[in-house]
Chain A
Amino acid sequence: MYDIVIIGAGVSGCAIARELSRYKADILVVEREEDVCCGTSKANSAIVHAGFDAAHGTLMAKLNVEGSRMMPALAKELDFHYKQNGSLVVCMSEEDRPALNKLYENGVANGVEGLRIVEKDELQKMEPNISDNAVAALYAPTGGIVCPFGLTFAFAENAAKNGAKFQFDTEVLEVAPMDGGWKLHTSKGDIETKVVVNAAGLYSDKFHNQAGGAPMKIIPRRGDYFLLDRTTGGFVKNTIFQLPGKYGKGVLVSPTVHGNTIVGPTAIDIEDKEATATTQAGLDEVREKSGIAVKNLPLRQVITSFAGLRAHEARHEFFIGEVKPGFVDCAAIESPGLSSSPAIGKMVAGIVEGILHLEKDPTFDPTRKGILDPKTLSPEEHAALIKKNPAYGTVICRCETVTEGEILDAIHRVPGARSLDGVKRRTRAGMGRCQAGFCSPRVMEILARELGVDQSEITKAGGKSKLIVGTNKDKV
């Protein structure tokens, strides 16, 4: 019997696993996909919200601000990409100024530091590409951007290093109480545990309801995005939000930590929790709305588009708490879930500790080093690295300059990459302007060699996503 089983290896589940690995406990994270960070955590705005938006008095607001405050130090401790670039909520009309002031006051009440209103002149100086029609903006210097994959991998790897186990391709079908805990019926057999943490994202309502909580319904709320080439990286410096108002609710335009520009999202409620496809209408909506708060947006430099589904619940609030003995919800984590993740981890770990009276593990190591990027080394260090490990001398992804050394590191981490997408999210190989056209055959070769399987077994993202169907003339 495990002490704790966490359902879901998204950013919430991994943050919780990391915090719980501070204690002596048998922890298992079960994930239905082949890797961590495969659900909403991989398809979002990558923003660390300052915390002015979430309604004052909600758990969302509290954890957002706390998470935002924890990020800078955590980014150093766990070595993931984070940048405090600042946020601007742009007001497009004097009619909307009361709403801008309300947002400011809400932010102050939430405890967000450094908030202030900037007027047109200062705004134009800060961001030359702001629309000429912008009248003012709420400036939040503590707003940030993060690599959502890097953050999730950092939590997961640190949790694993400190003893947490991960089991992939394991779908939880049903949870049921048993003597001393809970029994999880999964696609790979039964798992017994004292405590369950429900961090199942879009499906957190399913397990909450199965456990006997008050009926909850999660509605998948789709966000379509465009990602622009890294040559557009300087288009805006801050994350630009449009204040909802006279001209409707806009979309955000933001730099990413890797130097791209991200544009989106829509907010379209759908039925199917698996429908992560973008639609023509969704992309058109982003395109239309993207030109309101900014001007000259270089949309022609798009390199890819994608959609993520937020786990939206009608009450628009996080559900975190022990809902039945030994069953802890971490449910309905929609935006600002990513931003709140460090705080969510702490809060849930605290709840579980209270249930199980866990003992602190003196061997817990809070540090984690990310995948070494040779581009961050001095020329001398770089040369020495290649001498020591020639794999760092072979460039595999031309667009993002990713070497074989980094890809090998990604595969051999725990949890490590086992598919093209796993390599992509850990190393950026395939995220460039050619979108894996050049590197994918090479990455497939490396994966096959390192995992000891035939190249025809390599998948894009696990499951049925095989890249190769056979060999030449095999059906002739």
Chain B
Amino acid sequence: MKWLLTTLRPDPEAIMDLVRAEMEPARYSSFKPITAGPLVAFAGLATIGILGLLLAPIRLLKNFRSL
């Protein structure tokens, strides 16, 4: 399980791009908390979880090929 979770994590280069974006004042609003009410937040998190599961096989394959 731990291996799976680690393998599914984004690669460091993608995170570096995210760090650069987060440090841009012009992109500030893209990093603000989303506060749409508890129901919407829960539905949002659930949707993200399902999308993540659907994308997992593709990401696993990609990470395997980069090994």
Q: Do A and B bind each other?
A: no
Chain B positions within 8 Å of A, measured between CB atoms, are none
Chain A positions within 8 Å of B, measured between CB atoms, are none
